[in-house]
Amino acid sequence: MHRYLRTLLIGLICFPACAQSVTITRRNPTEVVYGADSVSIHQLRAEVQSATSSTFSAADLNRLMKQYPLLLQPHVKAVQFLPHLQGQTVQPFPLRAWPSDPAYANTIQQLVASSNQKHRLLAYMLLAATHDNTFENTLLDRMKTDSSQIERVWCGMALLHLRSRHTTPLFDFVIAFENWNNVFLFPMLVQLDPDSLRQTAHQRIQSTVLLEQIVAAQVLGYTQANPKTEQLLKQSVRTLPLST
């Protein structure tokens, strides 16, 4: 097993994996799906405002996610797939203008602080789509400590999309969910600040956890090489055990 992983590690050093697999969701032909146009944005804002003052269920959240995928989930690879296939550009922050509205601050505060988990999940999507970094510390804390796996995932994805400079906790987040959706998370990780990411990878490639070593080596393939990087990669290959 370790012999195979050693070979894999060498391959990751030389040829970073860039391919991504995508799951295509077939929609009901009668289902209305809104894009990122001004009318859709206006409708979504009205629905979100209404959601803060009423019972908001899982069905309500799912409906918004299905009707406004390009507005609420522009950072989700499966959502990006069809527009990209059609040669269209997905706006990374389609709701970026919303925080300039005085009512936004109160709305997002209510959602983030709500005892209703579905409100909080909606808030994490909105923070990512609006490019709102004001709750970064809250997202970092909940990504690590929340008892709900789904909340930790959406917090982490929001931070990745917002290009947080807290690369070490985000690296650990990707490792923690490597069996959940890593094919989508890793490409987001390597888009973070390269200098900060390199420092994180230099730390984690010296870990005693084999998966951390391998992912750190792969991350270094996306950053500019320097003597320390080369030294740590060679050391990692030499010290990786060949047998269990």
pLDDT band at 43 (very low <50, low <70, confident <90, very high): very high
Q: Does the pLDDT of residue 24 top 50, yes or no?
A: no
- CA-nearest of 108, 112, 45, 36 to 69 is 36
Least confident segment among 3-12, 189-198, 209-218 = 3-12
**What value does the mean pLDDT take over residues 190-199?**
97
**Residue 135: band (very low, low, confident or very high) from pLDDT cuts 50, 70, 90:** very high
Radius of gyration of the chain (CA): 20
Token pair in block for residue 175: 């490792």
Q: Of 35-39, 81-85, 132-136, where does the model show the most confidence?
A: 132-136
For residue 94, count CB atoms less than 10 angstroms from its CB and return exposed for 0-12, middle for 13-18, buried for 19 or more.
buried
pLDDT of res. 89: 83
Where along the chain do its domains lie?
33-164, 165-239
Is it the case that residue 242 has pLDDT exceeding 80?
no
Flag the least confident range among 4-8, 33-37, 109-113.
Answer: 4-8
Q: Residue 182 above 70 pLDDT? A: no
The whole-number pLDDT of residue 13 equals: 46
What is the tens place of the pLDDT at every residue in 94-107? 999 999 999 999 99
CB of 64 closer than 8 Å to CB of 121:
no
- Across 177-197, average pLDDT: 86
Who has greater pLDDT, 182 or 8? 182
Q: What is the pLDDT of residue 35?
A: 67
Q: Give CA–CA dist 99/105, Å, rounded.
A: 7
> If phi over 0 gives left and psi between -120 and 50 gives alpha, with beta otherwise, what is residue 131?
left
Name the pLDDT band for 78 (thresholds 50, 70, 90): confident
Which of 95, 164, 110, 108 is closest to 136 using CA atoms?
164
Cα 11 to its chain centre, rounded Å, is: 25
How many other C-beta atoms can be found within 10 angstroms of the C-beta atom of residue 231? 11
Looking at residue 239, its pLDDT comes to 77
Size of the chain, expressed as the number of residues it contains: 244
Is the pLDDT at 25 greater than 90? The verdict is no
Distance CA 62, CA 67 (A): 9
d(CA 52, CA 2): 52
Instruction: Find all residues with CB under 8 Å of 58, minimum gap 6, and list them.
Output: 118
Q: What is the structure's pLDDT at 138?
A: 98
Q: What percent of the chain has pLDDT over 90?
A: 65
**Which residue in this structure is represented by tokens 């299905």?**
66
Question: What does the pLDDT read at residue 112?
Answer: 97
Tokens of 152: 């930790």
